[in-house]
Structure formats: C-alpha cells, structure tokens
C-alpha cells in the first residue's frame, strides 16, 4: 500500500484523540470511580496494614496468634491519620457493636505505653478474648467487598459467609427497584398506546398536516425538560387548570389528587418521553411503500384486517426500538419523579441522589448506580443493534 | 400543550398560579431581573453555557472530522462510545463526577461545571457535525486538490465552510443542553455556580411562585430562538448541498 492511507489514518487518529482523552478522563473515569466506591473498602486495610497482612493466616476458629495481636498494637501506635482511624472504628462498630469503646480504650492504652511488648490485649480488655471481635476485623480487612452490592438488593452476608435476605423493613431498595421498572413499564406502554396511532397518522397524511403533526412532537423535544415538568407541576395541582376545568364543568366535586402520586408521575413522564416513541415508529413507517395498504385492500382485506396484517407488523421494528428507548430513559429519570411524585414514587435515581447527597453513603450510592448503569448500557447496546445507527435524537 | 396553558400565568399580578388572571403585570419578570438569586443564576447559565459549548464544539467537531473518512477500525464502536453520555443516567454520572471532582479540585468551580456540561453536550455536536459532513460531496474536495490545493487549503476553503452550518447548529444544541441541565449541576456545582435551571428546580420544590413560570417563559423563548437558528442553518445547508451537487 502507498503511504497516503497511513498518513490519512494518522490524521484521523489525531483528530479523534482529544475527545477520546476528554471523555476518558471526565466521563469514563467518574463512572469508574463510582463503581469502585461500591466494591472497594480499603479504610481498614490502609489504617491497619500489618494487622491486615498477618490476620489472613488466622484460621478464624479460636483466638488469633500473638503476632496478629502484636501487629494490631503496632498499627495502632503508628496510626497517624485520626480521621481515617475514626472511619475504621466506625466501620468495625457497624459490624459488631461495642467495637468503638474497645478500640478507643485500646488505642489510648497503646499510646500511653512506650513499649509494644508489654501490652497484653486480653488483659487490657476482656473483649479481646472473644473471637467475634477478631472475626469482624478479619472480615473488614479485604479491600474488595460485596457488602454494598448485596445491600443494594436488600441482601447481606452472615458471619459464616452465606448470603441471606435482609429482614423486611430494614431496607427498601428491592422495592424501589421493582417500582422503577414498573413505572418505566407503565410509561412505555402509555407512550406506545399514544405514540403508535399518532405516528401512523403522521405517516399517512401529507403536506402541511404532516408538518403540524411532526412539529407538535418536535417542539416539546426542543423545549427544556425542566420547563415541561414545571408545566405539569402547575397544571396538576389541586387548584390547577385540570382540576379547575373539571370542577367548573361540574364533573367532580372535590379536586382529584393528581400530583405527588403515581398518576402525576406517569402523566408527566409519558408526555416528556412521547417523542422518543413517535419518531422511531414514524421513520420506520416512512419507508413503507404507500400503496401497500391499497394493495391489501384490493386483495379483499378490510381496513382493520389490512392494518392488523400489514401495517402493524411493518411498524413493529419502530415500536420495539421506541419502547426500548423510552424504557431505558425512563429508568434513569430523576427530575420528574422528584418534582411531581410523592414519597412512594421515588425511583432508583432519587435513592442514589439521597445516599450520595443526604447521607454521604458513597458505597451504597455507587452500588445502586452500578446496577442502573449496567441495565441502561445493556439496553442501549441492544437498541444500537436494532436500529443500526445508535442515535438517540434525530438531531 | 401543557406549556402553552401555563405561560400566561407568568404575567399574573397575583402570587398564586391560578386562573382566571385578574390583572396582568410584569411583576415577576422584574423579580427575575432584580432578585439576586435569579439574576446571578441567569448570568451563571450564560457563562457556563458558553464555556461548555466552546469546549464541546471544538472537541466534537474534531472527532467528527476524524471519524468521517472511516479510515480507522472500530469507527462504529467509537461512535457508540461518543454518544454514551446521552443515555447514561444523569444521577449516576453526577455521583461519579462529584467523587472524582473533589479529588481533582474541580468541585464547585466554574471550569468543573463547564467540563461536566461539555461531556453531556458532545453527543449533540457529534451527531450534528457528522450529519453535515455526510452531506458534503467528496468529489468537490477531490476537485479542489486536483487543482493543486494542499490538504490544509482544501479543508480551510472547501470542507470547513460547507460543514459550518452543521458545526453551528451543533453548538446551538450544545448550548441548549447546557441551559437545561439540572442533575449534573446539582452534584458538581457549588452555591456560586447555581444556574437558572438549578434555581428553577429548587424553587419548584421549595416554594413555587409565578417567578418560576416567568423563568420558564424566558427559557422557552431562548431555546426556540436557538432551535429556529438551527433549523435555518440546516435549511441553508440543504440549499448549498443542492447547488453543489446539481
């Protein structure tokens, strides 16, 4: 081959590299950081490195050998970072209650004593004779943990290593996950029910009628998501337009509860996501020859039969990719449920935001985020396969 | 439709968001222009939007040019990866960015928010620029180089002017995306980087007043102007393409 293609390839590479680097640092790295927060737990092994190294050899049956105890004493004496130490103690205390006082006492004693050899932990505090405290320490040492991922689906690991479900009432993550998929499913169905006839209509008419129908879909897509949600917020209120109109018409006596509940979330999300359903179906129908329905009619099929046997099967690919798209976007929604939904309509995103911003529980936020991310990316790749060109918007 | 229904409420003189409107006034627009929180947030939206647009347009245009000739393997995979920011749930990306930005010292800074927005804007630039590059007939460029133009000259005098409408409409989309972004901003911005969208979000949650509707109207007018500009450019480009390939 000549040198020209090689040079061309190099030029293409140089043009792509800046964006690739940018996205690697500011897109992939954050996602990686979040996922690592879910599975890495190195607070204990960083603060107590010697203990971490020696406790591995302990069989976990009776008390650990003296060298493990000496390593712990040495680690506590060397521990300089008080904040990290405090975090370690908190982590251990959450595994076995009472660990906090035990560690505080031990640390003080170690600091007061000059020489490591003189300290006998069992003498210092009887609790060091109980294997459960040592077991908790051993459990906390490995830098990788599945604790957060299990907690994300309401499971936990027992002391003997078996995985069991959390008692009901302790955590509601599984419920929220089921709710997220349920709401996304309802919204997808609602979008399909409205979007399919709409897209067929838009594809069937011509001229200015088609332009108007398409603009009605595209204009909301261009206007801000926040503005659309605001609009629904105002409309759905008890004193809002919808209730006002219904009451004025004498259809209802007291306002319908439309906001801060599931109905409001479904209405608002369906409206917001409808373009994602209409556009794929419409673009599929555009490629259907216009005379196909006439052909079906000339073969003796009634309009209903022609629709059922010809038009509907032909629009299925569009319906499928539209549904995938709506479902995929819906499961990650935050703004609309946060504003229009009540306490029982919050979806995974809201829970992640709560753990991250409210309680700074990065591990659990990361684990839930990882689940949501994996589901979304899988759906996206299926969608990309189905629709050949993985474009989300017809921008 | 729901949007049209609420917009008149921006002009109410009452503090309640109810019909019928007794008296029309510009009271809530004055509030937008004078209240510190709102004025600052509008300024912030413009600053951050411009920064994010500049960054994403440059990076996205370069990459779209690089992917154009399909000389590299995995172009399709690259494309999929470049469009990923559009589908990754915003909260997930927000949590990750917050953690990373604290470590990098970018949390609660203007560059940090601009970068975060630019990540979300890049897909729109790529889609728009790629589409306009596809519309360019390669024979025009071949003709230019056969007439003795160097590759740089071909790009500067032929390719770039033809792709410009696509680049500008990509930038417009990027700016609109940044204007509307709430979730990522919630995670990476500090109180000083509060944008208009962010301010709207929290005032809907805390205490909704006609100011929010007035702000919404402002946003709509802004995005409609931008969308109009983009449509105009695309129309112009189609005309150019028609003329270039008779």
pLDDT of residue B208: 74
SS3 A17: helix
User: What is the pLDDT at residue A169?
Assistant: 67
Phi and psi, residue A163, nearest 5°: -95, 125
pLDDT tens by residue, A118-147: 677 777 788 888 888 888 888 777 778 787
Alpha carbons A362 and A34: distance in angstroms, whole number? 8
Mean pLDDT, residues B91-99: 93
Q: Is a pLDDT exceeding 50 seen at residue A1? A: no
Q: What's the rounded Cα separation, in Å, for the pair A115 and A106?
A: 14
Higher pLDDT, B56 or B222: B56
Structure tokens at B72: 């590299």
Closest chain B C-alpha to A324 CA, distance in angstroms: 12
Contacts of B178 in chain A (CB under 8 A): none
Show Cβ contacts of residue A350 under 8 Å, excluding neighbours closer than 6 positions. A334, A337, A338, B91
Range in A189-203, A277-291, A293-307, B41-55 the model is least confident about: A293-307
Residues in CB range of A377: below 8 A, 6 or more apart: B84, B87, B88
Strand partners, A155: A165
Q: Is B234 on the interface with A (CB under 8 A)?
A: no
Residue B13 has pLDDT above 70, yes or no: no
Burial code (b: 16+ CB inside 10 Å, e: under 16) for A30-41 equals bbebbbebbbeb
Say if the Cβ atoms of B123 and A392 lie within 8 Å. Answer: yes
Residue of chain B nearest A260, judged by CA positions:
B205
User: With a CB-CB cutoff of 8 Å, which residues 217-236 of chain A face chain B?
Assistant: 219-220, 222-235
Residue B93 to chain A, least CA–CA distance (Å): 6
| pLDDT at residue number B10 | 63
Question: Encoding tokens for residue B233?
Answer: 């450019």
Query: Out of A15, A30, A350, whose CB is closest to B100?
Result: A30
Interchain pair A334, B183: CB under 8 A? yes
Which three-class secondary structure state does DSSP give residue A145?
coil
CA angle B88, B89, B91 (to 5 degrees): 130
Instruction: Please give the share of chain A, as a percent, with pLDDT higher than 70.
Output: 93
The predicted pLDDT at position A170 comes to: 67
Average pLDDT of chain A to the nearest whole number: 82
The confidence score (pLDDT) of residue A346 equals 85
SS3 B24: strand
Chain B: residue whose CA lies nearest to A5: B71
The reported pLDDT for the residue numbered A327 is 95
Q: Which of A313, A55, A323 is nearest to A185 (CA)?
A: A323
Q: What are A112's two structure tokens?
A: 């007061």
Phi-psi region of A210 (alpha: psi -120 to 50; beta: other; left: phi over 0): alpha
Tokens 């003709």 -> residue: B143
Q: Is B236 helix (H, G, I), strand (E, B) or coil?
A: helix
* pTM of the predicted protein model: 0.82
Nearest CA in chain B to A27: B119
Q: Nearest-CA distance from A339 to chain B in Å?
A: 6
The pLDDT value recorded for residue B111 is 94
Q: pLDDT tens, A337-385? A: 888 888 888 889 988 998 888 887 888 899 999 999 999 999 988 887 7
User: What integer is the mean pLDDT of B63-87?
Assistant: 83
Q: Which of residues 105-164 of A touch B (CB under 8 A)?
A: none
Q: How confident is the model at residue B120 (pLDDT cuts 50, 70, 90)?
A: very high
* pLDDT reported for residue A395: 31
pLDDT in the model for residue A264? 86
CA distance B246 to chain A (A): 25
A354 CB within 8 Å of a chain B CB: no
Residues in A touching B224 (Cβ below 8 Å):
219, 222-223
- Kindly give the interhelix angle for A131-140 and A82-95, rounded to the nearest 10 degrees: 120
Chain B nearest-CA distance from A194, in A, is: 15
- Specify the pLDDT at position B92: 93
Q: Which of chain A's residues have a Cβ under 8 Å away from the Cβ of B11?
A: none
Q: State residue B6's pLDDT score.
A: 66
Q: Is A1 exposed, middle or buried (0-12, 13-18, 19+ CB in 10 A)?
A: exposed
| Nearest-by-CA chain A residue for B76 | A389
Where do we find the tokens 């494309």? B79
Q: What span, in angstroms and rounded, lies between the C-alpha atoms of B12 and B26?
A: 8
Is residue A219 scored above 80 in pLDDT? no
> Quick one: average pLDDT of B196-224?
82
DSSP B110-140: HHHHHHHHHHHHHHHHHHHHHHHHHTS-HHH
Task: Say what the pLDDT of residue B246 is.
Answer: 46
Nearest residue in chain B measured CA to CA from A16: B63
Q: In chain B, positions 161-190, which contact chain A (CB-CB < 8 Å)?
A: 173, 176, 179-180, 182-183, 186-187
Rounded distance between C-alpha atoms, residue A213 and residue A179, angstroms? 33
pLDDT at B17: 64
Nearest-5° Cα angle at B32, B27 to B36: 125
Give the confidence band of B112 by pLDDT, cuts at 50, 70, 90: very high
Judge whether residue A45 has pLDDT over 90.
no
Instruction: Please tell me the distance from the alpha carbon of residue A29 to that of residue A32, in angstroms, as a whole number.
Output: 5
Cα(A110)–Cα(A118) distance, rounded to whole angstroms? 10
Q: Is A244 on the interface with B (CB under 8 A)?
A: yes
CA-based Rg of chain B, rounded to a whole angstrom?
21
For residue B100, the chain A residues in CB contact (below 8 A) are 29-30, 33
Indicate if the pLDDT at residue A257 is higher than 90: no
Which of B2, B41, B60, B106 should be substituted to probe chain A, the one whose Cβ sees the most A Cβ atoms within 10 Å?
B2
Give the mean pLDDT of chain B: 83
A328's tokens: 């995929």
Which element (helix H / strand E) includes B79? Answer: helix B75-83
- Closest Cβ–Cβ partner in B5, B201, B227 for A226: B201
Count CA atoms within 13 Å of residue A62 on its CB side.
Answer: 2
Tokens found for residue A297:
């009619």
Query: Kindly report the CA angle at A380 between A374 and A386, in degrees rounded to 5?
Result: 140
CA distances from A192 to A316, B35, B131 (A): 11, 44, 28
- Chain A CB contacts of B176 below 8 Å: 222, 224
Distance from CA of A273 to the nearest CA of B (A): 13
Which of A3, A10, A26 is the best substitution to test chain B (most B C-beta atoms within 10 A)?
Answer: A26
User: Do residues A182 and A171 lie in contact, with contact meaning Cβ atoms separated by under 8 Å?
Assistant: no
Q: What span, in angstroms and rounded, lies between the C-alpha atoms of A388 and A40?
A: 37
Q: How far is A121 from chain B (nearest CA, A)?
A: 38
Q: Which two tokens stand for residue A232?
A: 């629904």
CA B100/CA B188 separation, integer angstroms: 10
Peptide bond into B20 cis (omega under 30): yes
Check the CA dihedral A18-A383-A203-A185 and report its sign: negative
pLDDT(A268) > 50: yes
Q: What is the mean pLDDT of residues A65-81?
A: 81
| Alpha-carbon dihedral sign for residues B35, B218, B237, B136 | positive
């Amino acid at each position: 081959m000549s040198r020209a293609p090689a040079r061309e390839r190099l030029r293409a590479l140089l043009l792509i590299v800046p964006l690739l680097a940018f996205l690697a640092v500011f897109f992939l790295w954050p996602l990686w950081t979040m996922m690592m927060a879910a599975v890495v737990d190195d607070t204990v092994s960083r603060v107590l490195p010697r203990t971490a190294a020696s406790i591995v050899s302990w069989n976990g049956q009776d008390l650990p050998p003296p060298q493990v105890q000496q390593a712990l004493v040495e680690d506590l004496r060397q521990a300089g970072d008080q904040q990290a130490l405090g975090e370690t103690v908190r982590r251990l205390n959450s595994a076995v209650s009472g660990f906090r006082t035990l560690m505080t006492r031990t640390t003080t004693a170690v600091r007061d004593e000059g020489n490591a050899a003189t300290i006998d932990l069992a003498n210092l505090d009887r609790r060091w004779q109980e294997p459960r405290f040592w077991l908790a320490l051993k459990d906390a040492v490995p830098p990788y943990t599945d604790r957060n991922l299990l907690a994300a689906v309401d499971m936990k690991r027992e002391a003997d290593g078996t995985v069991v479900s959390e008692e009901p009432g302790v955590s509601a993550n599984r419920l929220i996950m089921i709710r997220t998929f349920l709401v996304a499913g309802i919204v997808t169905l609602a979008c399909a029910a409205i979007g399919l006839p709409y897209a067929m209509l838009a594809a069937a008419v011509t001229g200015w009628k088609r332009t108007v129908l398409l603009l009605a879909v595209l204009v909301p897509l261009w206007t801000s998501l926040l503005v659309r949600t605001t609009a629904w917020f105002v409309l759905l209120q008890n004193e809002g337009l919808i209730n006002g109109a219904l009451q004025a018409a004498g259809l209802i006596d007291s306002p319908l509860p439309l906001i801060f509940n599931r109905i409001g979330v479904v209405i608002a999300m369906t409206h917001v996501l409808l373009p994602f359903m209409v556009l794929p179906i419409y673009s599929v129908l555009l490629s259907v020859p216009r005379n196909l329905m006439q052909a079906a009619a000339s073969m003796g099929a009634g309009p209903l039969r022609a629709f059922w046997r010809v038009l509907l099967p032909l629009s299925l690919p569009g319906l499928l990719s539209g549904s995938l798209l709506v479902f995929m976007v819906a499961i990650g929604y935050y703004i609309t449920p946060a504003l229009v939904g009540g306490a029982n309509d919050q979806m995974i995103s809201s829970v992640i935001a709560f753990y991250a911003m409210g309680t700074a529980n990065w591990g659990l936020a990361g684990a839930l985020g990882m689940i949501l991310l994996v589901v979304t990316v899988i759906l996206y790749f299926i969608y990309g396969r189905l629709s050949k060109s993985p474009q989300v918007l017809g921008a | 439709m729901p949007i049209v229904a609420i917009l008149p409420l921006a002009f109410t003189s009452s503090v309640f968001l109810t019909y019928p409107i007794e008296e029309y006034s510009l009271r809530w627009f004055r509030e937008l222009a004078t209240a510190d929180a709102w004025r600052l947030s509008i300024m912030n939206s413009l600053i951050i939007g411009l920064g994010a647009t500049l960054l994403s347009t440059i990076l996205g245009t370069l990459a779209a040019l690089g992917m154009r000739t399909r000389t590299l393997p995995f172009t399709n995979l690259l494309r999929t990866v470049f469009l990923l920011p559009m589908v990754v749930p915003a909260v997930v990306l927000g949590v990750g960015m917050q953690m990373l930005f604290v470590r990098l010292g970018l949390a609660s800074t203007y560059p940090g928010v601009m970068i975060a927005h630019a990540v979300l804007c890049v897909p729109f630039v790529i889609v728009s620029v790629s589409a306009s590059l596809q519309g360019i007939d390669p024979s025009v460029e071949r003709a230019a180089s056969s007439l003795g133009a160097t590759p740089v000259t071909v790009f500067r005098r032929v390719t770039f002017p033809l792709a410009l409408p696509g680049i500008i409409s990509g930038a417009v989309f990027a700016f609109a995306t940044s204007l509307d972004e709430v979730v990522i901003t919630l995670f990476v911005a500090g109180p000083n980087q509060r944008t208009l969208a962010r301010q709207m979000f929290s005032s809907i949650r805390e205490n909704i007043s006609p100011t929010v509707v007035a702000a919404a109207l402002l946003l709509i007018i802004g995005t409609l102007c931008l969308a109009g500009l983009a449509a105009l450019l695309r129309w112009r480009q189609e005309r150019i393409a028609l003329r270039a390939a008779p």
